[in-house]
């Protein structure tokens, strides 16, 4: 191509870009179509149903259980070294995350700690969905060597030895088993990786192990009862959407022009609502989006492995410690197959500010990096990336980013539940 041709082509690109900018600047973002308004209303927190009742946990709505779980959530004695609590990685002042790529407790975990706010609405827990209830999820870190690093026998003995906890347990779940014979009930032990603890567990009779498992499950149910109180509060986005239904002139200034343009891109060409939809901006499903592996780590199999684990979990909906095994459709019909290789649960976008880094192992350092990743839609290291390249302009990515920050709001949870109990 001649110099003249190249100059003409360059000029053409400049003209196209300029026209795009001018058009975007003069677009009235308040002129929503009927279909767009329907979609916006579906995303309002006002459309969020009440926290679903978990039939597998009969104490979920019990105030005593919530208070008991509140104490347990902040108690560092529920750990192998007496220094780690649930709140170590799920800190209230950090939206119940820890702001780390992967969590650090007794050791270093493999994945990022997601927020607990609104999590009671999800049928699956963890990035790979390997647990199907809040109470089953609450149990796993207690025995994970990298997290709390303890064992179920240790925790059951602890509950029995603490007068306040043993009384609370008795009111909620009935009498604790008689643990005084340590030849039957060793001080520590469980089905964990530590050989000594595992041997102590295997030395017990099946009936005694079942008795301990029952108490252990109830510890998780109390913690889950507390966690159901962690619900999101309405943001500027919600005020804007709700206001558009009654008084658009008053509602429009609630979001800046850039934020409104970002919202239009979010529900439009950004293709974000394919996964981030509904009041919590998540479909609670699993998707491979081409996120690279954490540095120095082999690719994470994600949901394809998680679904195998949840179906074999003794604390799942169909297990003997579930309070109701008749309503387990999610588990009975859980999707499996190779198309779930490298797929991870879609996180909620509410309160996303301050929860960086992002992705299942903190691979994306900030919100801008997340949006640029989805704009590129690179090939997956394993499996198949469901996303397609978007071809957004840099300023469009910036507008989506500023829109996402309008989702910030404190939890709609009483302050007493957001701090350690007295």
Q: 65 pLDDT band (50/70/90 cuts)?
A: very high
Task: With a cut of 50, say whether residue 10 has pLDDT above it.
Answer: no
Instruction: Assess contact for 345 and 285: CB atoms under 8 A.
Output: yes
- Residue 148 has what pLDDT? 97
For 119-178, how does the pLDDT look when each residue is reduced to its tens digit (9 = 90+)?
999 999 999 999 999 999 999 999 999 999 999 999 999 999 999 999 999 999 999 999
Distance separating alpha carbons of residues 72 and 85, to the nearest angstrom: 8
Instruction: Assess contact for 91 and 129: CB atoms under 8 A.
Output: no
Q: 19 pLDDT band (50/70/90 cuts)?
A: very low
Distance from CA of residue 96 to its chain's centroid?
Answer: 10
DSSP, res 286 = E
What average pLDDT is seen over the chain? 92
Distance separating alpha carbons of residues 375 and 353, to the nearest angstrom: 20
Task: With a cut of 90, say whether residue 8 has pLDDT above it.
Answer: no
Domains of the chain, CATH where assigned? 28-48+234-302+341-407 (1.10.760.10), 63-231 (1.10.760.10)
Mean predicted confidence (pLDDT) in 51-68: 97
Q: 17 pLDDT band (50/70/90 cuts)?
A: very low
Distance separating alpha carbons of residues 141 and 200, to the nearest angstrom: 20
DSSP, res 49 = P
Q: How many CA atoms lie within 13 A of 211 on its CB side?
A: 14
- Residue 363 has what pLDDT? 94
Task: With a cut of 90, say whether residue 18 has pLDDT above it.
Answer: no
Nearest-10 crossing angle of helices 206-227, 152-161: 70
Task: With a cut of 60, say whether residue 5 has pLDDT above it.
Answer: no
DSSP 86-150: HHHHSBGGGTTB-SSSS-BSSSB-SS-----TTGGG-SSBSTT--BSSHHHHHHHHHH-TTTT--
Distance separating alpha carbons of residues 351 and 354, to the nearest angstrom: 8
Which of 263, 268, 271, 262 lies closest to 398, judged by CA? 262
For 380-413, how does the pLDDT look when each residue is reduced to its tens digit (9 = 90+)?
999 999 999 999 999 999 999 999 999 999 999 9
3-class state of residue 159 by DSSP: helix
Distance separating alpha carbons of residues 39 and 42, to the nearest angstrom: 5
Task: With a cut of 80, say whether residue 233 has pLDDT above it.
Answer: yes
Which of 155, 71, 54, 145 lies closest to 105, judged by CA? 145
The residues with which 204 forms a beta bridge, in sequence order, are: none
Mean predicted confidence (pLDDT) in 312-317: 98
H or E, element range at 344: strand 344-345
Both tokens assigned to 59: 């104490």
Burial of 100 (0-12, 13-18, 19+ CB in 10 A): middle
- Residue 13 has what pLDDT? 44
Which of 159, 242, 145 lies closest to 198, judged by CA? 145
For 207-230, how does the pLDDT look when each residue is reduced to its tens digit (9 = 90+)?
999 999 999 999 999 999 999 999
């Amino acid at each position: 191509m001649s110099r003249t041709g190249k100059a003409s082509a360059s000029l053409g690109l400049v003209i196209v870009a300029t026209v795009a900018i001018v058009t975007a600047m003069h677009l009235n973002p308040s002129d929503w179509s009927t279909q767009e308004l329907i979609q916006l209303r579906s995303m309002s927190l006002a459309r969020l149903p009440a926290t679903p009742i978990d039939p597998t946990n009969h104490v979920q709505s019990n105030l005593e259980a919530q208070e008991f779980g509140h104490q347990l959530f902040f108690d560092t004695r529920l750990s192998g070294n007496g220094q780690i609590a649930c709140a170590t990685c799920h800190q209230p002042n950090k939206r119940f995350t820890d702001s780390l790529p992967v969590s650090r407790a007794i050791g270093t975990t493999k994945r990022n700690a997601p927020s607990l706010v609104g999590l009671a609405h999800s049928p699956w827990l963890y990035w790979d969905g390997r647990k199907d209830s809040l109470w089953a999820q609450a149990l796993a870190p207690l025995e994970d060597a990298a997290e709390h690093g303890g064992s179920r026998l240790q925790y059951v003995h602890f509950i029995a030895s603490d007068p306040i906890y043993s009384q609370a347990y008795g009111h909620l779940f009935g009498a604790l088993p008689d643990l005084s014979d340590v030849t039957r009930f060793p001080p520590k032990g469980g089905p964990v990786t530590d050989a000594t603890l595992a041997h102590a567990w295997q030395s017990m009779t099946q009936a005694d192990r079942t008795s301990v498992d029952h108490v252990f499950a109830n510890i998780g149910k109390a913690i889950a009862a507390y966690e159901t109180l962690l619900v999101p509060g309405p943001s500027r986005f919600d005020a804007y959407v709700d206001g558009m239904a009654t008084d658009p002139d008053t509602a429009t200034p609630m979001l800046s022009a850039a934020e409104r343009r970002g919202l239009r891109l979010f529900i439009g060409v950004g293709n974000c609502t394919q996964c981030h939809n509904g009041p919590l901006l998540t479909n609670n499903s699993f998707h491979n989006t081409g996120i690279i592996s954490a540095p120095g780590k082999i690719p994470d199999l994600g949901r394809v492995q998680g679904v195998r684990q949840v179906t074999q979990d003794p604390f799942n909906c169909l297990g003997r410690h579930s309070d109701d095994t008749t309503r387990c459709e999610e588990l009975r019909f859980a999707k499996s197959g190779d198309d779930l290789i490298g797929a991870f649960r879609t996180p909620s976008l509410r309160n996303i500010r301050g929860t960086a880094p992002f992705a299942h192992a903190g691979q994306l350092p900030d919100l801008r990096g997340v949006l640029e990743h989805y704009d590129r839609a690179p090939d997956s290291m394993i499996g198949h990336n469901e996303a397609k390249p978007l071809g957004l302009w840099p300023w469009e990515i910036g507008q989506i980013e500023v829109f996402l920050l309008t989702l910030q709001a404190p939890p709609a949870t009483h302050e007493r539940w957001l701090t350690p109990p007295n």
